[in-house]
Amino acid sequence: MLAVLPCKRFEFQPNSSDLRSQSAKELGDCALNVLRQNVSIYVSVKGSSAWPVPKGSVKQALVEDTARLRAQAVVDYLVAQGIAKERFVVEWTLPPVANRETLDAVKM
């Protein structure tokens, strides 16, 4: 079984894969009890990252690496809390083309 948990978005330190402390707490509150009580559940974790401006200043590989590392940071946090790493499917995505290299906070 693949789980979709109610917590879907976590904040990270700017330009990094370090979870903000409030997001780590929210992740723990949202996921740990469910995962500990239901050992047959697998969780899909999808990382993402904004694509900063100015245009052409950041390469796609860096944005993709940040997204991947953020997804892995979520998994690493839960593994450190005793959840088996084999229970996670890790994915990452790039922002849609219309949301790249923008200052619009809604699109970031």
pLDDT above 90 for 35: yes
Of 50, 45, 49, residue with least CA distance to 76? 45
In this prediction, residue 1 carries a pLDDT of 64
pLDDT above 70 for 108: no
In this prediction, residue 57 carries a pLDDT of 86
Q: Is 79 helix (H, G, I), strand (E, B) or coil?
A: helix
pLDDT above 80 for 38: yes
* Residue 51, strand partner residues: 100
Question: Whole-number mean pLDDT of the chain?
Answer: 89
pLDDT above 70 for 58: yes
Q: What is the pTM of this model?
A: 0.87
